[in-house]
Amino acid sequence: MSGPVFRGGPVTVRPPATTANIGPGYDALGAALTWYDEVELAVADTGLTVELDGEGAADLPRDEGHLLVRAARAAFDRLGGQPPGLRLRCVNTIPQARGLGSSSAAVVGGIVAARALVEGGDELLDDEAALALAAEIEGHPDNVAPCLLGGVTIAWADDVTGRARAARMEPAAGVHPVICVPALRGYTAASRGLLPADVPHAEAAANAGRAALLVRALTAAPELLLPATRDWLHQNYRRPSMPQSLDLVDALRAEGIPAVVSGAGPTVLAFSAMPGTEGVEAIATKVAGSDTFAVTALDVSTAGAAVIQR
Give the DSSP H or E segment for 29.
strand 25-36
Q: Is 100 annotated as a binding residue?
A: yes
Q: Is 235 annotated as a binding residue?
A: no
* Strand-by-strand arrangement of the 11-14 sheet: 47-54, 85-92, 38-44, 11-14, 306-309
Q: Is 117 annotated as a binding residue?
A: no
Q: Is 7 annotated as a binding residue?
A: no
CA distance 22 to 218: 10
Q: Is 15 annotated as a binding residue?
A: no
CA distance 214 to 219: 8
Q: Is 129 annotated as a binding residue?
A: no
Q: Is 74 annotated as a binding residue?
A: no
Q: Which of 153, 186, 187, 149 is nearest to 171 (CA)?
A: 153
- Across the strands, what pairs with 42? 87
Sign of the Cα pseudo-torsion (64, 68, 74, 75, in order) = negative
Sign of the Cα pseudo-torsion (77, 79, 85, 87, in order) = negative
CA distance 35 to 2: 39
Phi, psi angle pair for 161, to nearest 5° = -90, -20
Radius of gyration (Cα) for the chain, nearest Å?
Answer: 19
Q: Is 96 annotated as a binding residue?
A: yes
- Measured between its terminal Cα atoms, the distance across the chain in Å is 26
Q: Is 230 annotated as a binding residue?
A: no
CA distance 259 to 246: 10
Binding residues: 95-105
Binding residues for ATP: 95-105
